[in-house]
Amino acid sequence: MISGMLRFAVTSVLVAVAAVIGWQLWTYYTLSPWTRDARVLANVVQVAPDVSGLISAIHVKDNQLVAKGDLLFEIDQERFRAALDHAQGDVAMKKAALELARADAKRYATLERENSPGFSREAGERMNTIAAEAEGAFLVAQANLVVAEINMRRSKVYAPVNGHVTNLTAVQGDFASTGNGVLALVDSDTFYVYGYFMETKLPLIQDGARAQVELMAGNVVLDGVVEGMARAIANPDDARGLLASVDPQFSWIRLAQRIPIRVRLDDLPPNVRLASGMSATVIITPEPAP
């Protein structure tokens, strides 16, 4: 009798302990501000030429670290050099024509002031019109020269940011078109983390809260700060692509939505190498209530 009661009591205690532990685990899983669904991200610059032409030289290799201002590749300059020479010659011609037209208009203005019998009002007006047209043509020629100089300069493409060349597939001799990317450059100064938190955990996440980022690669732990919460995610039928697309983990039951939280990383240790797309776990320390 006593042993039966003892077994019942022990069983009851174990069940109660298990229930408490289960409740705490469930509360931690659903409410505590942590997630294993996080990604390391960075700004990726699609480097594209501003002019079209054959690639005459590529000065970088795939995965190479480059500094802002380094020469990446060149577009063949032969056509741009010829266009520049043409524009310079056109400016010289238009300048000479403008000087002649102004001189003619000035002579007719002198004849008008002196009431010369050789003065014709119609001819004077025509000379003034020719001078005005010559001035306009000269301005157009100067503008064309500026465009030719810009095209010449931009036939050499430089790194707009510090970063790593990624997925370089272009080779010398390829034709590069204006606005079409030739290579991607991962901005090494812009790494951050997006953690996708269930909406039930959002009340404990405040801007400015400290965060720990545990990388899956090497179990490295980085420190960071919550920068903010995304204020919208895309609907399944949103085709514009302007909002973050967060796919549901299960489609056959209703789960709490996952909302992106952006975490700014503190200074990285010198031996840590990041790549956009790495997986991570984010644990946020809730700010104490005021």
- Domain 77-153 -> CATH class: mainly alpha
Tell me how many degrees the CA angle 138-141-144 measures, rounded to the nearest 5: 155
- The residue ranges of every structural domain in the chain are 34-42+189-284, 77-153
Q: Which residues of 15-31 are buried (b: 16+ CB within 10 A; e: fewer)?
A: eeeeeeeeeeeeeeeee
Mean pLDDT computed over every residue of the chain = 83
More confident residue, 126 or 156: 156
Instruction: Give the CA count within 13 Å in the CB-facing half-sphere of 220.
Output: 16
Chain centroid, CA 22 distance in Å = 45
Q: What is the mean pLDDT of residues 47-55?
A: 95
Query: For the residues 205-211, what does the mean pLDDT come to?
Result: 91
- Residue 48 is predicted with a pLDDT of 94
Dist. CA 169–CA 51, nearest whole Å: 19
Winning range, highest mean pLDDT, from 20-34, 151-165, 249-263: 151-165
18-32, 87-101, 140-154, 234-248: segment of lowest average pLDDT: 18-32
Task: Work out the average pLDDT over 49-69.
Answer: 95
Indicate the fold that domain 34-42+189-284 takes in CATH: Elongation Factor Tu (Ef-tu); domain 3 (2.40.30)
Bigger pLDDT: 32 vs 100: 100
> What is the per-residue pLDDT for 252?
45
Q: Which range among 59-73, 245-259, 273-287 shows the weakest confidence by mean pLDDT?
A: 245-259
**What are the residues whose beta carbons fall under 8 Å from the beta carbon of 25, sequence distance 6 or more?**
none
| pTM for the structure as a whole | 0.76
131 falls in which pLDDT band (50, 70, 90)? confident
| pLDDT exceeds 60 at position 119 | no
pLDDT(60) > 50: yes
| Lowest mean pLDDT, pick from 26-30, 70-74, 155-159, 260-264 | 26-30
Residue 2's pLDDT band (cuts 50, 70, 90): low
Give per-residue pLDDT as tens, 134-185. 899 999 999 999 999 999 999 999 999 999 999 898 999 999 999 999 999 9
